[in-house]
């Protein structure tokens, strides 16, 4: 990281950002073209869990290239100054890299859906088997992640 003064090194602070964010942007690549998708997610044990429809561009790309990056951010605030050239932004963010895998095991799939549900509601849910067939769970095994903050 170029700006070491903005780096977040404390793992608990990084995980706090992940727990507080509401959108996880996943970066994929196919044929040397980037593709970014905002997604709902859950986080536990250095893994992101994402859910998606059973078909679509992101699914196709992950099948061919499971290397992903991700970004989450919170606490955005524009800080104005005398001229727009001196404006800045306050924020906290996490960027990471890992590998995406499709979850096929029904028990792990239900567990992942509960992790996602808990991310947003704090509650677990029951998921009927017939609904489970209509969703794909993507598990991202995080290899590297860094935190950054500005203005805090």
Mean pLDDT of 99-124: 93
Could you report the per-residue pLDDT of 53-103, keeping only the tens digit for each?
999 999 999 999 999 999 999 999 888 888 888 888 899 999 999 999 999
Share of the chain above pLDDT 70, in %: 99
- Categorize the per-residue pLDDT at 6 as very low, low, confident or very high, splitting at 50, 70 and 90: confident
Residue found by looking up tokens 């979850």 in the block = 103
* Other CB atoms within 10 Å distance of the CB of residue 77: 11
Judged against a pLDDT cut of 90, whether residue 129 lies above it is answered with no
pLDDT number for residue 102: 98
53: left (phi over 0), alpha (psi -120 to 50) or beta: beta
Judged against a pLDDT cut of 80, whether residue 3 lies above it is answered with no
Higher pLDDT among residues 122 and 71, named by residue? 71
CA-closest candidate to residue 93, choices 115, 70, 116:
70
Judged against a pLDDT cut of 80, whether residue 2 lies above it is answered with no
**Domains of the chain by range and CATH?**
4-150 (2.30.110.10)
| Chain mean pLDDT for the chain | 92
pLDDT number for residue 1: 67
* The model's pTM: 0.90
* Other CB atoms within 10 Å distance of the CB of residue 80: 9
Mean pLDDT of 47-54: 95
């Amino acid at each position: 990281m170029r700006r070491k003064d903005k780096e977040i090194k404390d793992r608990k602070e990084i995980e706090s950002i992940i727990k507080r964010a509401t959108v996880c942007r996943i970066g994929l690549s196919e044929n040397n073209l980037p593709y970014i998708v905002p997604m709902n997610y859950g986080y536990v044990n250095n893994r992101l869990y994402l859910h998606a429809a059973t078909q679509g561009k992101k699914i196709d790309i992950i099948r061919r290239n499971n290397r992903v990056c991700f970004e989450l951010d919170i606490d955005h605030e524009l800080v104005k100054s005398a001229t727009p050239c001196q404006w800045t932004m306050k924020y906290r963010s996490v960027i990471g890299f890992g590998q995406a895998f499709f979850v096929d095991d029904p028990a792990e799939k239900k567990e992942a859906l509960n992790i996602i549900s808990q991310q947003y509601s704090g509650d677990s849910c029951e998921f009927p088997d017939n609904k489970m067939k209509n969703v794909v769970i993507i598990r991202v095994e995080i290899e590297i992640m860094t935190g950054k903050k500005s203005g805090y």
